[in-house]
């Protein structure tokens, strides 16, 4: 599901890339929305934890993991921002596109960079929802990235250990 203003073309590109990389079918949860997303008091941001809780409560037909792509910046009272948020073994993933967009840093728009970062971040948060903590391997998708430079440097795949946990959960039949 998408929250806020994101172009159709961008969402389509993300769906296409995700479908290629995920071992399970991936579809757009049309119509799912949150009327008044919770905000962090005093900041121009959505409250990542409260919003994640609401996204987890969005009804869906099956037990599919719900990925919410949010156009606005997200944070909470303690952390000034997150790229994404997910609970260990949770049923939803929240990713904000705001700080993944080169325009946030005063750079020209470049959709390929935004898509690449968003896919990495979605799969990182999916790893948390599969029960994974951060990984010490700097090339692994589950390595912690505090900023976009680190996100760009981090590998685009899980290490063998993290990958086996994710594929066990998301593709039990494989």
Q: Which is nearer to Zn ion, 3 or 140 (CB)?
A: 140
Interface contacts to Zn ion, rule CB under 5 A: 135, 137, 140, 142, 159, 162
Q: Point out the catalytic residue in the list 5, 36, 111, 125.
A: 125
Q: Which is nearer to Zn ion, 3 or 95 (CB)?
A: 95
Exposure string (b/e) for 53-84, b if CB count within 10 Å is 16 or more?
A: ebbbebeeeeeebbbbbbbbbbbbeeeebbbb
Task: Assess whether 30 carries a catalytic annotation.
Answer: no
Cα distance between residue 71 and residue 143, in whole Å: 24
Instruction: Provide, rounded to whole angstroms, the least separation between the CB of residue 90 and Zn ion.
Output: 12
Instruction: Provide, rounded to whole angstroms, the least separation between the CB of residue 137 and Zn ion.
Output: 5
Cα distance between residue 67 and residue 53, in whole Å: 12
Handedness of CA 159, 162, 164, 170 (dihedral sign): negative
Cα distance between residue 168 and residue 172, in whole Å: 5
Q: Which is nearer to Zn ion, 47 or 143 (CB)?
A: 143
Instruction: Provide, rounded to whole angstroms, the least separation between the CB of residue 106 and Zn ion.
Output: 26
Which are the catalytic amino acids? 125
């Amino acid at each position: 599901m998408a929250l806020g203003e994101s172009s159709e073309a961008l969402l389509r590109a993300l769906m296409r890339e995700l479908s290629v990389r995920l071992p399970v079918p991936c579809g757009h949860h049309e119509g799912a929305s949150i009327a008044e997303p919770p905000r962090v008091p005093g900041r121009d941001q959505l409250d990542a934890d409260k919003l994640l809780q609401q996204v987890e409560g969005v009804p869906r037909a099956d037990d599919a993991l719900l990925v919410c792509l949010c156009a606005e910046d997200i944070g909470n009272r303690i952390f000034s921002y997150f790229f994404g948020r997910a609970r260990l073994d949770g049923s939803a993933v929240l990713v904000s596109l705001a700080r993944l967009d080169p325009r946030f840093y005063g750079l020209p728009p470049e959709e390929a960079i935004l898509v690449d970062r968003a896919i990495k971040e979605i799969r990182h948060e999916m790893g948390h929802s599969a029960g994974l903590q951060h990984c010490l391997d700097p090339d692994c998708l589950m390595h912690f990235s505090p900023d976009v430079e680190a996100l760009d440097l981090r590998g685009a795949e899980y290490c063998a250990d993290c990958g086996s946990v994710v594929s066990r959960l998301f593709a039990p039949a494989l």
